[in-house]
């Protein structure tokens, strides 16, 4: 089996050489701009994970972040339902690809998936709440790999077969991700001002995926980002029209948002509401 983290570590120096060679091929002005961009990426990007509100409240209440396999194992233990059935339900159309990918690698069922983030609410089409992990947590990672996109799109051929080696030279450990990002996006930074750089890191149609192994608790979370529309909707549901006859699903949402707001007021979690 492949150790994806060893592959990333082995690729660290080739990634640096590719970056340096790109600078040599560039004009002096363009090379300086690329260096500035790489420095900005190194200082500003953090790992983020988009998730649901109840996951945030689980962390607030002292729990750990669970990946899909850990979630399914707990659900199976509590319900008696088959593990694979639960995984299939949770992953939906991505079930076959994600399981095939994870089982290609050592410790694949321990993988956590995130994305580099330099601002914004992340990949909200997955889930609306964005956990932005701390710099300290990121620096503490021993096993990490950064890919130039979604692994389920990069590593599968049109016939559905998995071929990791087609991108094996385009992955890097997280501490070299700024070189990977700068190399991948160098052709796009000319003409952009620095305020536009974050969309080169993560946007609605592309991102840099981060795969890592590490325990995530509330202490690992630097902030929780959420859109103003999502935050306002949950605020109104929780704090307005308190005499309304609520359905059980609404009561659960109110309970979760109340806990988030209480933790925010108590200073236990930083919530960033984004326009």
| pLDDT tens digits along 130-184 | 999 999 999 999 999 999 999 999 999 888 888 988 888 999 999 999 999 999 9
122: exposed, middle or buried (C-beta count within 10 Å: 0-12, 13-18, 19+)?
buried
Q: Which residues are within 8 A (CB) of 82 and not within 5 positions of it... i.e. 6 or more apart?
A: 76
CA atoms of 71 and 116, how far apart (whole Å)? 23
pLDDT on residue 148: 96
Specify the 3-state DSSP secondary structure of 105: strand
Judge whether residue 38 has pLDDT over 90: yes
What tens digit of pLDDT does each residue of 63-91 get? Answer: 999 999 999 999 999 999 999 999 999 99
> Do the beta carbons of residue 208 and residue 201 sit within 8 Å?
yes
- Chain segment 109-127, per-residue pLDDT in tens: 999 999 999 999 999 989 9
* Average per-residue pLDDT for the chain: 95
Residue pLDDT, tens place only, 14-33:
999 999 999 999 999 999 99
Residues 269 and 19: their CA atoms lie apart, in Å, by 37
Q: Where are the alpha helices (DSSP H) in the chain?
A: 4-10, 12-25, 28-44, 53-60, 68-79, 83-91, 95-102, 135-140, 151-154, 177-185, 198-201, 228-239, 248-265
The helix-helix angle for 28-44 and 12-25 (nearest 10°) equals: 150
> Considering the entire predicted model, what is its pTM?
0.94
pLDDT band at 204 (very low <50, low <70, confident <90, very high): confident
Give the model's pLDDT for residue 273. Answer: 97
Residue 223's beta-bridge partner residues?
132
User: Has residue 207 got a pLDDT over 90?
Assistant: yes
The residue count for the chain: 275
Query: What 8-state DSSP symbol labels residue 142?
Result: S
Residue labelled with tokens 């979630």: 71
Q: If pLDDT is split at 50, 70 and 90, which confidence band does 191 have? A: confident
Cβ atoms of 234 and 128 closer than 8 Å: no
The predicted pLDDT at position 50 comes to 97
- The predicted pLDDT at position 247 comes to 85
In this structure, the number of other CB atoms found within 10 A of the CB of residue 19 comes to 20
Residue 275 has what pLDDT? 87
For CA atoms 123, 99, 109, 179, the dihedral sign is: negative
């Amino acid at each position: 089996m492949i150790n994806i983290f060893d592959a990333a570590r082995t690729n660290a120096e080739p990634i640096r050489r590719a970056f340096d060679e790109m600078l040599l091929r560039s004009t002096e002005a363009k090379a300086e701009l690329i260096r500035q961009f790489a420095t900005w990426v190194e200082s500003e990007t953090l790992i983020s994970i988009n998730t649901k509100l109840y996951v945030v409240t689980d962390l607030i209440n002292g729990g750990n972040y669970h990946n899909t396999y850990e979630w399914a194992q707990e659900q199976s233990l509590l319900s008696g339902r088959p593990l694979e059935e639960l995984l299939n339900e949770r992953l939906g159309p991505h079930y076959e690809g994600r399981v095939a990918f994870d089982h290609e690698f050592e410790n694949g069922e321990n993988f956590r998936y995130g994305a580099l983030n330099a601002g914004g609410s992340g990949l909200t089409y997955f889930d609306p709440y964005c956990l932005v992990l701390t710099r300290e947590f990121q620096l503490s990672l021993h096993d990490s790999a950064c890919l130039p996109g979604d692994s389920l799109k990069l590593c599968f051929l049109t016939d559905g077969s998995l071929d990791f080696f087609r991108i094996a030279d385009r992955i890097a450990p997280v501490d070299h991700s700024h070189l990977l990002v700068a190399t991948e996006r160098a052709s796009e930074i000319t003409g952009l001002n620095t305020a536009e750089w974050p969309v080169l890191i993560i946007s609605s149609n592309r991102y840099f995926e981060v795969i890592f192994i590490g325990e995530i608790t509330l202490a690992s979370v630097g902030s929780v980002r959420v859109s103003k529309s999502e935050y306002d909707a949950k605020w109104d549901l929780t704090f307005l029209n308190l005499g309304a006859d609520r359905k059980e699903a609404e009561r659960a949402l109110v309970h979760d948002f109340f806990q988030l707001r209480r933790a925010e007021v108590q200073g236990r979690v930083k919530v960033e509401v984004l326009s």
